[in-house]
């Protein structure tokens, strides 16, 4: 598989640079593919049969310690086609602390995305409730009674019919950035779920993936409490695509 790159490692955590095309967590649908979770277990010397996954009854939630085991310490998620920074805790204590920081919005994330059209205004925010759509449970949208979600954005570069945008999600809802850009009528380049079938098909003839990259993250180190920052440059395929747009 296209292996994740280790950006940083100590006795508390791993900071990975995830390539596009790799699913983060194992599930019933990933039996025949390597996941980031498999990579983490190999890197940390964990054998699959050492993981004791406790089955819970209906309505029962797993404990934080069980979540640490079940996810092999992976603190959060990125979509399969999204590349960039992913945090992995090495201890239950670090896992619980990092999840607390995500929940309390202490973690600061920055994404880079290429979207259709020119955003007006060039910077701003989206603050709307997001929830799963009843008619298609694989998709999310702006729904009454949905969970609060907020994303700040800033245009970095405009092209003929596209814009490179920096995004700062203040919450962590599933597909949040993709749904928010769709809500503004500026869907992400190559987005098969939210960009429209015809548009996404045309996009993917030029770039066969979603243009979304988790570029930066800042949080408090789970042991020292000091703020730490990590960055991931645009992958070669995305950078080459942008260079091609400038050359037109």
Question: Which residue from 205, 195, 75, 68 is spatially nearest to 139, judged by alpha carbons?
Answer: 195
- Active site (annotated) includes residue 38: no
Tokens coding 3: 């292996």
3-state SS string for the chain: CCCCEEEEECCCEEEEEECCCCCCCCCHHHCCCCCHHHHHHHHHCCCHHHCCCCCCCCCCCCCHHHHHHHCCCECCCCCCCCEEEEEEECCHHHHHHHHHHHHCCCCEEEEEEEEECCCCCCEEEEECCEEEECCEEEEEEECCCCECCEEEEEEEEECCCEEEEEEEECCCCCCHHHHHHHHCCCCECCCCCCCCHHHHHHHHHHCCCCCEEEEEEEEECCCCCCEEEEECCCCHHHHHHHHHHHHC
- Residue of 79, 127, 148, 243 marked catalytic: 79
Q: What number of residues does the chain have? A: 248
CA dihedral sign, ordered 216, 86, 113, 111: negative
Residue 65 and residue 88: Cα distance in Å, rounded? Answer: 14
Q: Which residues are catalytic?
A: 79
């Amino acid at each position: 598989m296209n292996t994740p790159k280790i950006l940083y490692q100590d006795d508390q955590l791993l900071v990975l640079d995830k390539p596009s095309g790799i699913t983060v967590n194992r599930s019933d649908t990933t039996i025949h593919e390597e996941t980031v979770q498999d990579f983490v277990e190999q890197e940390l010397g964990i054998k699959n049969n050492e993981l004791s996954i406790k089955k819970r009854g209906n309505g029962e939630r797993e404990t934080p310690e069980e979540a640490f085991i079940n996810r092999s310490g992976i603190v959060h998620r990125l979509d399969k086609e999204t590349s960039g920074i992913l945090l992995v805790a090495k201890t239950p204590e670090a896992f619980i602390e990092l999840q607390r920081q995500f929940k309390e919005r202490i973690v600061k994330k920055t994404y880079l995305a290429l979207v259709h059209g020119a955003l007006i205004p060039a910077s701003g925010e989206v603050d709307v409730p997001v929830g799963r759509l009843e008619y298609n449970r694989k998709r999310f949208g702006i729904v009454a009674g949905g969970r609060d979600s907020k994303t700040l954005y800033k245009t970095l570069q405009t092209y003929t019919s596209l814009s490179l945008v920096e995004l700062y999600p203040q919450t962590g809802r599933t597909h949040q950035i993709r749904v928010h850009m769709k809500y503004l009528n500026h869907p992400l380049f190559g987005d098969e779920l939210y960009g429209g079938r015809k548009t996404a098909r045309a996009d993917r003839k030029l770039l066969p993936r979603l243009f979304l990259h988790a570029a930066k993250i800042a949080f408090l180190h789970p042991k020292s409490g000091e703020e730490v920052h990590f960055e991931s440059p645009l992958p070669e395929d995305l950078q080459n695509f942008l260079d091609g747009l400038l050359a037109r």
